Amino acid sequence: MINIIIIDDEPLAAALVEDYLSEFPEASVKAICHDGFEGLKAIKEHEPDLIFLDVQMPKITGFEMLELLEKTPAVIFTTAYDAYAMKAFDSHAVDYLLKPFSKERFAMAFEKFLKLQGNEENVPNLLLSKIELSGPSERIVLKDKNEIKIIPSSEVRYLEANDDYVNIYTVEGKFLKNKTMKFFEAILNPKQFVRVHRSYIVNLGEITKIEPYEKDGYLLLLKSGAKVPVSKTGYPKLKQALGL
Amino acid sequence: MISQVFKFSNSLWYKAILIILLWIVGVAYLIHSFGVSLSVALFDVSIHTAFLTLGFFLLENIFRFYSPQGRSVFIFMIFPISVSLMVFFSGMFSMEFFTKNEDDYLRLMSNAFFVKLFIIFLLCLCYTVILLFQSKLETQLQHKEREEQIQKLAKEAELYQLRQQLQPHFLFNSLNSISSLLHRSPEQAQEMVIQLSEFLRKTIRKNDQKWISLEEELAFLHLFVGIEKVRFGHRLHVDFDQKGEVGVCKLPPLLVQPLLENAIKHGLYGLLGEVNIRVSFSSEEAYLVVRIVNPYDPQAGQAGGEGFGLEVIRRRLFLLFGRHDLLATQADAKLFKVQIKIPQNYDQYYHH
């Protein structure tokens, strides 16, 4: 049996996936959810093998929902958005269905999942999966003590690498997110956020002063009083972003 | 032209000075051949050239600010005549002042009085004609440039509008709903196909030039909401209401629908659960006022990319009426309100 959850904010769209799945006797639909929050709950409860996931949904997008999961099931995206370009990232997408899709195209995606199911470690990198949004994200979605927080990127002061996590320093305080620096570098607006150091990404609007520091290094003073080091490779990037 | 030469910004002035020197030497030789000593001839030509250059400079400045239109030939002739007289007499008096004893020269000059005046006049006239040609050419170029710019802007606006009308997201999701309905309820699917076709047909046919009645607009909006309700019927409620004498009001097509689409989008994607949207039309003084209120999440931020479609409407209102004050928005903790005012006494068939 393959446990499946369908997450789509349009009931008819979810129903279509359900109808298509009825052709596969091994597929068992455990839940149909209409937003990312319901999706998170259902995934926690049912631990599905596969989810069908819409991208544009209320409050949080399908991508943002995935970011909040500790263990990600295999994903087949279903979306009308061809504006999203594919880009390499480490999510578990098996395939990407553009709405409206045919029964044959759907079957292809599902069979692809079946074939991959045996060797789990192939799934993550199969398709160049995490799909880049048509523009930079203006917010960060994260989990804080079982509560989902949506933080506008203008409220983010700087980010700091912390092993497998990233510390996000915001107006409201410090938050953790289980993602890489590379991830944040990719999703945040490059006009506002610059990776000035291997371990630091800083919000340009927060910088009050740039000071020389040790040998050919620099130190940024932020409005909040925090100090952020700038590396040799980070300095030219910072200069360029500030138009110096 | 002369003012350009005197800016010394390019190599033009080398050439200009060379030409002036050649001219001085040539004319001086000519005068010399009539029996005037070479030094006096050179001096005479230099003085006159200097005054002439000054005169040209004057002419150029006059015609920069004043370009005669068509019939005013007399006014146009006044400038070269007066400038040539000025050049002639300034030249003559300064020469008399400096060369009191040169009998040969003075005799020649008194004989050639009118010839010299005429030559100076001809030079001024030629220069005037050149100036006028140049200014005409420049105006024509400017005209052409402006026309091109207007055309480009119009095309841009049209494209923008087209893109705005055919929201791919709306279209593909609607098609997907039809695909789904075909399985479960073919009759509803057919109904949706017809609704969608009608909506698209109306969208394509509409242009800014012909305003439509409020009744037509309402039918169009109901069609649109009908399609959205097939997709989101479980969450979406849209109420329409009218206040005052709105029956006679008219409005440009496709102005309200994008706003409503925006309101629906921000309601549906900003919040969980039910979304109530209110659209009201009222007649206030010389305006048809449209208000759309939708619930939203001020904290939401943008998931990425999509800017607020309000800018497009603001731009269109400006293109239609040349005013920036017709669109107003207001946001409180839970509701987002947008209001547009459509002037009713405006020439409805006017377009750029």
Segment A34-39 shows an average pLDDT of 95
CB contact under 8 A, B269 and A136: no
Q: pLDDT class for A90, splitting at 50, 70, 90?
A: very low
A57 vs B: CB within 8 A: yes
CB contact under 8 A, A15 and B169: no
Second CATH level (architecture) for the domain B235-343: 2-Layer Sandwich (3.30)
User: The tokens of B250 are what?
Assistant: 């008219």
Instruction: Provide the shortest C-alpha distance from residue B175 to chain A (in Å).
Output: 6
User: The tokens of A199 are what?
Assistant: 């371990």
Q: Nearest residue on chain B to A102, judged by CA atoms?
A: B179
Most A CBs within 10 Å, among B163, B166, B175, B180, to test the A interface: B180
pLDDT at A131: 43
The residue type of B162 is: L
In this structure, what DSSP letter does residue A234 have? H
Q: pLDDT class for B218, splitting at 50, 70, 90?
A: very high
Ranges A67-71, B168-172, B181-185, B298-302: which has the least confidence? B298-302
CB contact under 8 A, B268 and A9: yes
At residue A137, does pLDDT exceed 80? Answer: no
Q: pLDDT class for B77, splitting at 50, 70, 90?
A: confident
Residues of chain B in contact with residue A81, where contact means CB-CB under 8 angstroms, are: 169
3-class DSSP state for residue B337? strand
User: The tokens of A11 are what?
Assistant: 């009931």
Q: pLDDT class for B131, splitting at 50, 70, 90?
A: confident
Residue A207 and residue A221 in contact, taking contact as beta carbons nearer than 8 Å: yes
Segment B267-271 shows an average pLDDT of 90
Of B179, B231, B270, the CB nearest to A16: B179
B236 vs A: CB within 8 A: no
Element (H, E) at A106: helix A103-117
Residues of chain A in contact with residue B308, where contact means CB-CB under 8 angstroms, are: none
Instruction: Provide the shortest C-alpha distance from residue A207 to chain B (in Å).
Output: 22
Q: Which residues pair with B293 in a beta bridge?
A: B278, B337
Residues B151-195 pLDDT 10s: 777 666 666 665 555 677 888 999 999 999 998 899 999 999 999
CATH, domain range A2-132 = 3.40.50.2300
Instruction: Provide the shortest C-alpha distance from residue A225 to chain B (in Å).
Output: 26
Output the CA angle A8-A89-A121, nearest 5 degrees.
90
Of A16, A58, A138, the CB nearest to B302: A138
Instruction: Provide the shortest C-alpha distance from residue A223 to chain B (in Å).
Output: 23
3-class DSSP state for residue A95? strand
Q: What is the mean pLDDT of chain A?
A: 85
Instruction: Provide the shortest C-alpha distance from residue B234 to chain A (in Å).
Output: 8
CB contact under 8 A, B231 and A12: yes
Residue whose token pair is 């300064």: B94
A152 vs B: CB within 8 A: yes
pLDDT at B96: 79
Residues of chain B in contact with residue A9, where contact means CB-CB under 8 angstroms, are: 232, 268
Q: Where are the domains of chain B?
A: 2-160, 235-343
Q: Where are the alpha helices (DSSP H) in chain B?
A: 2-5, 12-32, 38-65, 73-98, 103-111, 113-165, 168-184, 186-205, 214-232, 256-270, 310-321
Q: Nearest residue on chain B to A37, judged by CA atoms?
A: B272
DSSP line for B4-45: HHTT--STHHHHHHHHHHHHHHHHHHHHHTTT--HHHHHHHH
**Gap between the Cα atoms of B111 and B34, Å rounded:** 11
At residue A107, does pLDDT exceed 80? Answer: yes
Characterise A77 by phi-psi region: left (phi > 0), alpha (psi -120 to 50), beta (else): beta
User: The tokens of A178 are what?
Assistant: 């289980």
A37 vs B: CB within 8 A: yes
> How large is the ipTM?
0.78
CB contact under 8 A, A13 and B173: yes
Segment B45-61 shows an average pLDDT of 88
Which of B287, B213, B288, B279 has its CA nearest to residue B250? B213
B308 vs A: CB within 8 A: no
Element (H, E) at A242: helix A234-242
Ranges B17-26, B107-116, B138-147: which has the least confidence? B107-116
The listed range with the strongest mean pLDDT (A195-209, B95-109, B131-145) is A195-209
Instruction: Provide the shortest C-alpha distance from residue B333 to chain A (in Å).
Output: 16
Element (H, E) at A143: strand A139-144
CB contact under 8 A, A80 and B173: yes
Residues A5-20 pLDDT 10s: 999 999 999 999 999 9
**Gap between the Cα atoms of B153 and B142, Å rounded:** 16
Of A35, A100, A138, the CB nearest to B272: A35
Residue whose token pair is 């994008």: B258
**Gap between the Cα atoms of A113 and A127, Å rounded:** 11
Residues of chain B in contact with residue A134, where contact means CB-CB under 8 angstroms, are: 304-306
**Gap between the Cα atoms of A148 and A60, Å rounded:** 10
pLDDT at A125: 43
pLDDT at B67: 67
Give the count of Cβ contacts less than 8 A between chain A and B: 99
Burial A76-93 (b: 16+ CB within 10 A, else e): bbbbbbebbeeeebebbb
User: The tokens of A57 are what?
Assistant: 């949904």
At residue B118, does pLDDT exceed 60? Answer: yes
Strand order in A207-213's β-sheet?
Answer: A207-213, A217-222, A227-230
CATH of A146-242, one of 3.30.1600.10, 3.40.50.1860, 3.30.360.10, 2.40.50.1020: 2.40.50.1020
B306 vs A: CB within 8 A: yes
At residue A133, does pLDDT exceed 60? Answer: no
Residues of chain B in contact with residue A19, where contact means CB-CB under 8 angstroms, are: 180, 183-184
**Gap between the Cα atoms of B153 and A56, Å rounded:** 33
A80 vs B: CB within 8 A: yes
Q: Nearest residue on chain A to B231, judged by CA atoms?
A: A10
Q: Where are the domains of chain A?
A: 2-132, 146-242
CB contact under 8 A, B231 and A82: no
B303 vs A: CB within 8 A: yes
Q: Nearest residue on chain A to B273, judged by CA atoms?
A: A58
Q: What is the mean pLDDT of chain B?
A: 83
